[in-house]
Amino acid sequence: MLRLTANGRRPRVLLRLLVAGLAAAGPQVGCGSPTRPGATSGQLLVVSSGGLLVVDPRTGEIVTRVSPQVGAGHTGRFELSPDSSRLYFLAADSGEGNNELVALDRVSLATLWHERLSAMADRGAVSNLSMQGYGFLAVGPNAASFLVDAVRADTAGLAIVDAQRRAATGFLSLATLAYPNVAVVQPDVDFPDGLVLVAGQRASGTWSVFLRNPNSLALEDSIRLTDATGAAIEGPYQLGVAGGGRVVFAIGPRRIARVDLGERRVTAALDNPIRVWQRVGFATSADGTVLYLTDPGDGRDSPGSGKLYVLRPDRPAIDSIDLSAILPPGSPPTGNAVAVSAEGAFAYVASGTLSAGPLFGLQPGRLFTVDLSRRIPTAVYDLGVWYPSQLFLF
């Protein structure tokens, strides 16, 4: 079975951040409380297995709660449309093979449509296709298509789905690639049609990023992930697109490659300070010159370091900010996700464990505000949910 997320844990909570010009005065600890309905600019959208919460990040107030009446829970990660108008996720249904693709309006949080993946496969022109939807979903360039994990004739790969017809139009076999991961580059000056990036290990043992046509998934080019000495930068990876689509960070468990897609080469190799085989939370600066990482621990024995790491390809030193500084003594907070304000002044970190499992103790979902110039956390809020796993900044 294809597992493109490769994190060993099924994400149960998603946190999406809507922030406009947040300011922090000093250290604060707060707890959210229900208030009024509606979602406006400058608010948090928290998506959990129990529903969606709209939160004011300046006060921690829970503005409203919404429970999409679709499926029996989500699988994998939520994805945002390029224009930030819609949220997409894969919903698990009660029957095997009945997983659905769901679209929500990002502002009203209303369900716009939902459809079974099996119906999309049957409607398409690809024979012997079974669209799994067990955890991987990507939104194609201009939201004209979706990429979903699938199997064709016992071969694992990706199905490409026409977003307007909601029908499968193609399939990419990943049988010859170990530890695959996928990211999408939206259309820009350098790539007018956008790109689909697939990273993984070839049968020969080399690690590469493959540049594919977003419509046909045909191979256009590939970039070997090696440092200046020719040594491999090994995966499996998470892929983070930055710099207006020109830069991608391939985040491996030991080292990180910064890749310039225009120049088709690795421009920097960085040490990864987080040595776990889990997904790490990451964000990039708008120009792709800074990478931010949070430490999620291993989900069972260790909560991680409780630090936010700041990496710059032009500097060998790794900066870190201790989130525990604002908390009472105890286990370091598990850092699941991070988002950074457009001007680079503040970072927002989501932490918290699943509701059962970790031996180091349960941690409630929290939101940290970090002043990056002062290198300190300035506020923390209790979100009232378990395992917030993603942050997005609008």
Whole-number average pLDDT of the chain: 81
User: 10 falls in which pLDDT band (50, 70, 90)?
Assistant: very low
> pLDDT digits over 143-177, tens only?
999 999 899 988 999 999 999 999 999 999 998 89
Supply the pLDDT for residue 35: 30
Are 42 and 17 in contact, with CB atoms under 8 Å apart? no
Supply the pLDDT for residue 8: 34
pLDDT greater than 80 at residue 55: no
Cβ-based burial of 365 (10 A; exposed 0-12, middle 13-18, buried ≥19): buried
Supply the pLDDT for residue 17: 33
pTM: 0.84
| 3-class secondary structure per residue, 80-138 | ECCCCCEEEEEECCCCCCCCEEEEEECCCCCEEEEEEHHHHHHHCCCCCEEECCCCCEE
Supply the pLDDT for residue 31: 40
Mean per-residue pLDDT, 345-364 = 88
Provide the total of helices (H) and of strands (E) in the chain, helices listed first.
Answer: 1, 30
Least confident of 49-58, 146-155, 263-272, 274-283: 49-58
> pLDDT digits over 81-102, tens only?
998 899 898 887 655 557 889 8
pLDDT greater than 70 at residue 341: yes
| 3-class secondary structure per residue, 253-315 | CCEEEEEECCCCEEEEEEECCCCCCCCCEEEECCCCCCEEEECCCCCCCCCCCCEEEEECCCC
User: 235 falls in which pLDDT band (50, 70, 90)?
Assistant: confident
Mean per-residue pLDDT, 134-146 = 88
pLDDT greater than 70 at residue 18: no
pLDDT greater than 80 at residue 37: no
Supply the pLDDT for residue 69: 53
**CA–CA separation, 242 vs 180, rounded Å?**
20
